[in-house]
Amino acid sequence: MSAPGPLRVVGRSVRRTDALEKVTGRARYLSDLELPGMAHARLLRSPYPRARLLGVEVARARAHPGVHAVLTAADLTWCEPFYGPALRDRPLLATDVVRYEGDPVVAVAAVDEATAVEALDLVEVDYEELPAVMTLEEALAPGAPLVHAGEPLAGHFSDLSTLRARPGTNICHQFDYARGRGAGGFAEAALTLEDTYTFPRVQHYSMEPHGAIAAWDAEGGLTVWASTQNPFSVRAELAKMFGLPASRIRIAVPLLGGGFGGKTYAKLEPLAAALARVAGRPVRLQASVEDAFRTVRRCSARVRVRLGFRRDGGLVAVQCDADFDVGAYADIAPRVIQKGTYTATGPYRVPNVVLHSNAVYTNTTPGGAFRGFGVPQIAWAVESMMDVAAERLGRDPVDLRRQNLLAHGEEFARGDTPVDGKLEESLSRVAEAIRWHQASAAGRAKGVAVMMKASVAPSVSEAIVRLHADGSASVLVSTVEMGQGARTVMAQIAAEVLAIPLARVTVVPPDTSITPYDQTTSSSRSTTMVGRAVQDAAADVVGQLLKIAAAHLGVPAGALAVDDAAIVGGQRRLGYPELLDLHFGMRGGELIGRGVVAPGRTQAPLGGSTPFWEVAMGGAEISLDEETGAICVEAYASVADVGRCINPQQCEAQDEGAVMQGLGHTLLEEMVYEGGVLLNANLVGYRVPRAEDVPARFDSVFVENADGAGPFGAKGVGEGGLVPVSPAVGNALARLTGIRLRELPLTPERVWRALRARRDA
Amino acid sequence: MNIIPIRSSCSIRVTLNGRPVELAVRPEALLLDVLRDRLQLKGAKRSCDMQVCGACTVLLDGAPVSACTFLAVEADGREIVTVEGLGTEERLDPLQEAFIDHAAVQCGFCTAGMLLTAKALLAEDPAPTRERVVHYLRGNLCRCTGYRKIVEAILACAHAR
Ligand code: FES
Ligand code: FES
């Protein structure tokens, strides 16, 4: 139901509901919480990328004063010690082998962190080093050492029940998709291009590292306060591991200091829970930033793409073969590789398609979800090659893209949601914003890139809206507030539908024992899916109010309207408190509305139809210091088709942040391994964008046709802006210098070497 | 190698958010831990833990310092301002207002450090240029906002003078 008349709260840049607590330092994050008697945990991590554990001696650590619990794999006989959302391939603590530098071997809980560290110093581990596979090449070589031997168990996702490992190799999942005549389509191509691009291992660096505090109660129930984007997935994981009914587990989520995908699925929660059980007291396991580098990262990739064009520039065939390096444990990477590869054809009309990707284990930090979920890796290759194609065809890159764009309402893939945006409009807006048709100043050049991403499907979101006796409302949803402004947006939607002031709405923080089910805060899905559930739940309350008023006034509900916290009909106006009073016959009681968004499975290739297509386009203008090879992004324009901005200022904030994160992996960021060891697991060695890296000119543009499936025509935003950044910058570099780089990040050294190589050639 | 911690403590006197405070601290205690764990001032955050990100920034005699790498004993006799002392909910510092108005706050983990660094900058230079602001923020990372809105918020306060 959309509210009649003009919108009051939706579509306005209202202040964030959590802004005041954040600017005053009152906001509480996981690391700010303390429980009485709480112990503090530290982990002993493997110094080797791959080794056999010959012995783990912890007696001295156990005897150390102030130590409450020391755990090794051998102690975990009382629970199911394996976990993982796609494959249960990850032990709580290393069993017989360690699989990456940083793999947890021993966990200690003590009176404080210093004592825990002292105890870890007393642990002796006897390792027998084994040959490791550190790169895709090594991991895929015939006869390569296997990161995992034996059959891992399936996780809790139905769409991954068809996980296709290749036994006897390091490939833990393969994704295949084809349509039309597949590779046969290249027979029709007048121009075929083929090339390989690589994408580095990068780190989320949410400023707040992961953390969890676990406590068992006297009845054997478990509560975990966690910095997680998926409280319900964590609950499912813990229920399995500890043999508890879901109802006995409570996952409560405070504010998150950033997430970006790095806090999806269970991370430290299982270990914190196991430690708390043994310690017999609450245990806090707080990661450092160094720990975070050894907890999860983006899956790096090697992407081979073949594009076939007709003479007139129409795409006739696309082939993509991608190997994703998923590190030592699968985490959610099997989903990442299929989601990323699925849209390898971009927002283009392509009749013949053949896609294949592999999720490949290596002895490195596990790869998982990261803003864009596999799409940035693929788009870097495909969108770079679109520019190469334009050059070969003698076409303008924007024109060539325009010619191939899917139309509004056109099918992307059989069974999936048709295109829900006007892609041409987005392309025109990006060309306009980056001043594509004006010549650049000397020493500068521009590049563009476009993308389209599916959101997770099928998925489920539920909401409860409670209208209290005084006419204020509580919104119960399990969307995690990690900076994206979800709490504010949910409050705006409820306030709009209920026709009450924003200040009268409170969004309750996620707590699996209180707030209803939501699959995940990720995939840019919350505004669309949870937002719709909130809209429905609030509409349910309004429906009840109308019925009460209709009965009281003796008129049909259709003759009544909602206006400013009251139901009005003719001359009569009944405020919400009055209506509740009438209904319950006293000052007390509340109306409860429910919203459930559960589109279910479909025939779409990934098992569910995307609730919306996230469309983002980017344009970059760069200059280059030829002496040093340093690229300077002088201007950037980002266009996102969001359907409708619920809060324009927050949309802009999300989009700007996404672009800057994209500039990070485009120009600066890479986790570097040497001799099996991660060299730069800190912010000195791993440089992320600073204020001075922001382009001097920056435009964030929104296409708003209210054509989304979300509330008031909204779609998701938040990931998209990041995706086109690398190819847009790479394309600009090629147009400026003629040099086409296929490896990220585009560091000064890489660019300088390429310039030198060309000069020497 | 084990470094044997010195468990004896020394007494320090500071002015903390305008109030005199005397407390016993261990010589190796970091200011950030003393503020967060002993004094329950949780506004300063720990992120990089190596003087890069600025999430732990506090003002010491008006100058921004990284409390994560600053010994508490070194603060003896000096004046400390944390985000909790910047303004009250009823009377926010103009920077706090501007951060809210310009949507310079997302997850909020960098916010305290950003605010205090900006406070020091404006005390030093009430009307900084955009370049000066950007340069001054070198020691403050934000992974959410893309910085633009933070810079705008600070400039808005500068121009308001
Ligand atoms: S935590 Fe102190 S500078 Fe990063
Ligand atoms: S607002 Fe999240 S790090 Fe700055």
What does the DSSP 8-state code read for residue A376? Answer: H
- pLDDT tens, residue by residue, A74-92: 999 999 999 999 999 999 9
Residues A443 and A499 occupy one common structural domain? no
In this structure, which amino acid lies at residue A400?
Answer: L
SS3 B3: coil
> How many angstroms away from the CA of A519 is the closest CA of chain B?
21
Q: Which CATH number fits domain B94-159: 1.10.240.10, 1.10.150.120, 3.60.60.10, 3.30.70.270?
A: 1.10.150.120
| C-beta B64 within 6 A of ligand 1 | no
Closest by alpha carbon to B57, among B114, B134, B100? B114
Interface check for A139 against chain B (CB to CB < 8 A): the answer is: no
Write down which residue in A552, A574, A597 finishes a domain.
Answer: A597
| C-beta B47 within 6 A of ligand 1 | yes
Residues A471 and A451 occupy one common structural domain? no
Q: Which residue has the tokens 């360690």?
A: A98
Residues A450 and A555 occupy one common structural domain? no
Q: Look at residue A412 and tell me if it is in a domain.
A: yes
Domain harbouring A92, CATH code: 3.90.1170.50
Write down which residue in A277, A293, A309 finishes a domain.
Answer: A293
Whole-Å CA distances, A652 to A212, A287, A485: 31, 31, 11
Question: Is residue A4 predicted with pLDDT exceeding 90?
Answer: no
Q: Look at residue A164 and tell me if it is in a domain.
A: no
In this structure, which amino acid lies at residue A471?
Answer: G
| pLDDT reported for residue A155 | 73
Q: Kindly tell me the burial class for residue A697, based on how many C-beta atoms sit within 10 Å of its own C-beta (0-12, 13-18, 19 or more).
A: middle
For residue A205 the two structure tokens come to 């660096």
What distance in Å separates the CA atoms of residue A562 and residue A568, rounded to the nearest whole number? 6
- pLDDT tens, residue by residue, A16-41: 999 999 999 999 999 999 999 999 99
Question: Is residue A419 predicted with pLDDT exceeding 60?
Answer: yes
| A563 close to A6: Cβ distance less than 8 angstroms | no
Q: Look at residue A280 and tell me if it is in a domain.
A: yes
- pLDDT tens, residue by residue, A220-249: 999 999 999 999 999 999 999 999 999 999
Cα of A24 to ligand 1 centre, how many Å?
Answer: 19
For residue A722 the two structure tokens come to 């990041």
Residue of A nearest to B40 (CA): A32
> What does R_g of chain A's alpha carbons equal in angstroms?
27
For residue A175 the two structure tokens come to 């994704």
What distance in Å separates the CA atoms of residue A65 and residue A513, rounded to the nearest whole number? 37
Q: In what order do the strands lie in the sheet with A315-327?
A: A171-179, A352-361, A315-327, A300-309, A191-199
What distance in Å separates the CA atoms of residue A41 and residue A120, rounded to the nearest whole number? 10
Whether B141 sits inside 8 A of A688 (CB atoms) is yes
User: Angle at Cα A427 formed by Cα A422 and Cα A429, nearest 5°?
Assistant: 95
Whole-Å CA distances, A158 to A37, A106, A204, A367: 40, 33, 27, 21
| pLDDT reported for residue B4 | 54
- pLDDT tens, residue by residue, A692-709: 999 999 999 999 999 999
| A261 close to A295: Cβ distance less than 8 angstroms | no
Pairing of strands A315-327, A300-309: antiparallel
- The confidence band for A162, taking pLDDT boundaries of 50, 70 and 90, is confident
| C-beta B48 within 6 A of ligand 1 | yes
Residues 6+ apart with CB under 8 A from A403: A312, A313, A314
Write down which residue in A552, A577, A597 finishes a domain.
Answer: A597
Q: Which residue has the tokens 């599916």?
A: A454
Residues 6+ apart with CB under 8 A from B110: A207, B45, B47, B53, B54, B55, B140, B141, B142, B143, B144
Residues A326 and A428 occupy one common structural domain? yes
Q: Kindly tell me the burial class for residue A636, based on how many C-beta atoms sit within 10 Å of its own C-beta (0-12, 13-18, 19 or more).
A: buried
| C-beta A656 within 6 A of ligand 2 | no
CA distance from start to end of chain B: 54
- pLDDT tens, residue by residue, A362-394: 999 999 999 999 999 999 999 999 999 999 999
Cα A243 to its chain centre, rounded Å, is 29
Residues of A whose CB is below 8 A from B140: 691
- The confidence band for B1, taking pLDDT boundaries of 50, 70 and 90, is very low
| A213 close to A282: Cβ distance less than 8 angstroms | yes
Q: Which residues of chain A from 328 to 387 reach within 8 Å of chain B, CB to CB?
A: none
SS3 A132: coil
> How many angstroms away from the CA of B76 is the closest CA of chain A?
24
What ligand has the least distance to the C-alpha of A482? 2
Residue of A nearest to B152 (CA): A691
Mean pLDDT of A342-349: 98
| pLDDT reported for residue A1 | 39
Question: Is residue A686 predicted with pLDDT exceeding 60?
Answer: yes
| A447 close to A731: Cβ distance less than 8 angstroms | yes
For residue A285 the two structure tokens come to 């396991």
Contact pairs from chain A to chain B, CB under 8 Å:
165
Q: Which residue has the tokens 């409570």?
A: A250
Domains in chain A: how many in total?
3
Q: What is the mean pLDDT of chain A?
A: 96
| A119 close to A51: Cβ distance less than 8 angstroms | no
Whether A482 sits inside 8 A of B82 (CB atoms) is no
Cα of B18 to ligand 1 centre, how many Å?
Answer: 24
Whether A206 sits inside 8 A of B142 (CB atoms) is no
Interface check for A486 against chain B (CB to CB < 8 A): the answer is: no
Beta bridge pairs of residue A633 = A622
Provide the greatest CA pair distance for chain A. Answer: 90
| B57 close to B113: Cβ distance less than 8 angstroms | yes
Residues A122 and A66 occupy one common structural domain? yes
Residues A635 and A519 occupy one common structural domain? no
What ligand has the least distance to the C-alpha of B109? 2
Residues A248 and A105 occupy one common structural domain? yes
| pLDDT reported for residue B2 | 53
- pLDDT tens, residue by residue, A171-181: 999 999 999 99
Residues A366 and A223 occupy one common structural domain? no
> What count of residues does chain A have?
761
| B42 close to B85: Cβ distance less than 8 angstroms | no
Whether B109 sits inside 8 A of A258 (CB atoms) is yes
Interface check for A296 against chain B (CB to CB < 8 A): the answer is: no
Cβ neighbours, 10 Å, residue A739: 16
Cα of B85 to ligand 1 centre, how many Å?
Answer: 19
What does the DSSP 8-state code read for residue A709? Answer: S
Query: Where is pLDDT greater, at B4 or A319?
Result: A319
Whether A650 sits inside 8 A of B103 (CB atoms) is yes
What does the DSSP 8-state code read for residue A330? Answer: -
Whole-Å CA distances, A279 to A30, A65, A239, A283: 20, 14, 19, 8
Closest by alpha carbon to A448, among A315, A639, A313, A620? A620
What ipTM score was computed for the predicted complex, to two decimals?
0.97
- pLDDT tens, residue by residue, B56-80: 999 999 999 999 999 999 999 999 9
Query: Which of ligand 1's atoms lies nearest the C-alpha of B47?
Result: 1
Q: Look at residue A103 and tell me if it is in a domain.
A: yes
Residues A220 and A94 occupy one common structural domain? yes
Q: Look at residue A593 and tell me if it is in a domain.
A: yes
Domain ranges of chain B: 10-85, 94-159
Q: What are phi and psi of A644, to 5 degrees?
A: -155, 135
Closest by alpha carbon to A524, among A637, A649, A621, A658? A658
For residue A115 the two structure tokens come to 């004592």
Which of B30, B45, B47 most suits a substitution to test ligand 1, by most atoms within 8 Å of the C-beta?
A: B47
* CATH code 2.60.40.1120 for B10-85: no
| pLDDT reported for residue B161 | 46
Cis peptide bond prior to A745, omega within 30° of 0: yes
Mean pLDDT of A608-625: 97
Angle between helices B111-124 and B94-101 (to 10 degrees): 130
Residue of A nearest to B95 (CA): A23
- pLDDT tens, residue by residue, B10-53: 999 999 999 999 999 999 999 999 999 999 999 999 999 999 99
Residues A307 and A344 occupy one common structural domain? yes
Cis peptide bond prior to A458, omega within 30° of 0: yes
Whole-Å CA distances, B51 to A437, A668, A683, B26: 45, 19, 9, 21
| A366 close to A100: Cβ distance less than 8 angstroms | yes
What distance in Å separates the CA atoms of residue A407 and residue A180, rounded to the nearest whole number? 19
Which of B34, B49, B140 most suits a substitution to test ligand 1, by most atoms within 8 Å of the C-beta?
A: B49
What distance in Å separates the CA atoms of residue A19 and residue A485, rounded to the nearest whole number? 10
Strand stretches in A488-612, DSSP E = 505-508, 561-563, 566-569, 572-575, 591-597
Interface check for A690 against chain B (CB to CB < 8 A): the answer is: yes
Closest by alpha carbon to A726, among A654, A662, A670? A662
| pLDDT reported for residue A156 | 65
Closest by alpha carbon to A85, among A319, A351, A264? A264
- pLDDT tens, residue by residue, A445-489: 999 999 999 999 999 999 999 999 999 999 999 999 999 999 999
| pLDDT reported for residue A153 | 73
Residues of A whose CB is below 8 A from B141: 207, 683, 688, 690
Whether B101 sits inside 8 A of A206 (CB atoms) is no
Closest by alpha carbon to A343, among A604, A24, A655, A715? A604
Q: Which residue has the tokens 């990328």?
A: A49
| pLDDT reported for residue A3 | 43
Q: Look at residue A187 and tell me if it is in a domain.
A: no
Q: Which residue has the tokens 């979300």?
A: A710
Residues A119 and A225 occupy one common structural domain? yes
Query: What pTM, to 2 d.p., does this model score?
Result: 0.97
Residues 6+ apart with CB under 8 A from A760: none
Element (H, E) at A649: helix A648-663
Q: Look at residue A163 and tell me if it is in a domain.
A: no
- DSSP letter for each residue of B37-96: IIS----S--SSSSSSS-TTEEEETTEEEEGGGSBGGGGTTSEEE-GGGT--SSS--HHH
What distance in Å separates the CA atoms of residue A313 and residue A191, rounded to the nearest whole number? 9
Q: Look at residue A157 and tell me if it is in a domain.
A: no
Question: Is residue A195 predicted with pLDDT exceeding 50?
Answer: yes
Domain range holding A243? Answer: 33-132+204-293
Cα of B108 to ligand 2 centre, how many Å?
Answer: 5
Most A CBs within 10 A among B143, B145, B152, hence the mutation to make, goes to B143
Cα of A36 to ligand 2 centre, how many Å?
Answer: 29
Domain harbouring A469, CATH code: 3.30.365.10
Element (H, E) at A104: strand A104-110
Angle between helices A526-553 and A486-498 (to 10 degrees): 20
Residues of B whose CB is below 8 A from A24: 43, 83-84, 86-89, 92, 96
CA distance from start to end of chain A: 66
Cα A260 to its chain centre, rounded Å, is 5
What distance in Å separates the CA atoms of residue A613 and residue A717, rounded to the nearest whole number? 10
SS3 A364: coil
Question: Is residue B159 predicted with pLDDT exceeding 80?
Answer: no
Question: Is residue B99 predicted with pLDDT exceeding 50?
Answer: yes
Residues A329 and A399 occupy one common structural domain? yes
Beta bridge pairs of residue A507 = A475
Cβ neighbours, 10 Å, residue A254: 21
